[in-house]
Amino acid sequence: MTEPSTPSHLRTAVFISGRGSNMTALVEAARAPDFPADIALVLSNRADAAGLAYAGEAGIATAVVDHKPFNGNREAFERAIDAVLVEHGVELVCLAGFLRVLTPWFVTRWAGRLINIHPSLLPAFRGLDTHARALAANVRLHGCTVHFVTPELDDGPVIAQAAVPILEGDTAQTLAGRVLVQEHVIYPAALARVASGRAKLVDGRVVLTGDTTRPDAVLVVPA
Ligand code: GAR
């Protein structure tokens, strides 16, 4: 059974695999009555994901779909996830540290309704260890990106980005910490834009409408 959601509040699922700090930021933002999305479900592929406990305590439905019994059959795993999403009446999906690569089947099925956060200024530094790689590349600006998901890993039309300067003496840990603070700012803002229709996927690019001067799609953090 699905709980009725407030009209015009899009029923949103957040997928996690671990800590879930971005999921927590989305849940907290969605508590505001005028936020255009309800977090209706937190789903994890790992039963031991720390974020599941927080979601449960916050009164949000949780689900675990373990990928291991599917023996590498990714589409069968995703069909099981999809059934859970349908059961909960989910309309929009946010990936938040979900450590499974999704197949074109799932990505196509949820096209325009599936967003992800990645800890770099895409298209730079797709994949893992983004902070260490940004330091090794001697760039001055790093950051994070929220984007619509396409079949390519950590790729897709950009909804929002925050640029975070790299400071002298930064380590991967200090840089990751400052980027994470901005992830928690831009992900709720990007979700609000998508859920309210102020960021739409049109012909493979993102069209922003409404108040585009608000600093929620482009955030530059001063050094
Ligand atoms: C976040 O930094 C997120 O950007 C990253 O995983 C972390 C999850 O942390 N995602 C990716 O690297 C996706 N390629 P969280 O569980 O505390 O939100």
SS (H, E, C) the chain: CCCCCCCCCEEEEEEECCCCHHHHHHHHHHCCCCCCEEEEEEEECCCCCCHHHHHHHCCCEEEECCCHHHCCCHHHHHHHHHHHHHHCCCCEEEECCCCCCCCHHHHHHCCCCEEEEECCCCCCCCCCCHHHHHHHCCCCEEEEEEEECCCCCCCCCEEEEEEEECCCCCCHHHHHHHHHHHHHHHHHHHHHHHHCCCEEEECCEEEECCCCCCCCCEEECCC
Share of the chain above pLDDT 70, in %: 94
Spell out the per-residue pLDDT of the chain, length 223, in tens. Answer: 444 445 579 999 999 999 999 999 999 999 999 999 999 999 999 999 999 999 999 999 999 999 999 999 999 999 999 999 999 999 999 999 999 999 999 999 999 999 999 999 999 999 999 999 999 999 999 999 999 999 998 999 999 999 999 999 999 999 999 999 999 999 999 999 999 999 999 999 999 988 766 666 777 777 7
Please report the pLDDT score of residue 118 as a whole number.
Answer: 97
42 pocket-lining for ligand 1 (C-beta < 6 Å): no
Q: Which of 15, 43, 117, 152 to mutate to test the pocket of ligand 1 (most atoms within 8 A of CB)?
A: 117
Residue whose Cα lies nearest atom 12 of ligand 1: it is: 118
- Tens-place pLDDT, residues 11-23: 999 999 999 999 9
- Nearest-atom index, ligand 1, CA of 119: 4
- Tens-place pLDDT, residues 30-67: 999 999 999 999 999 999 999 999 999 999 999 999 99
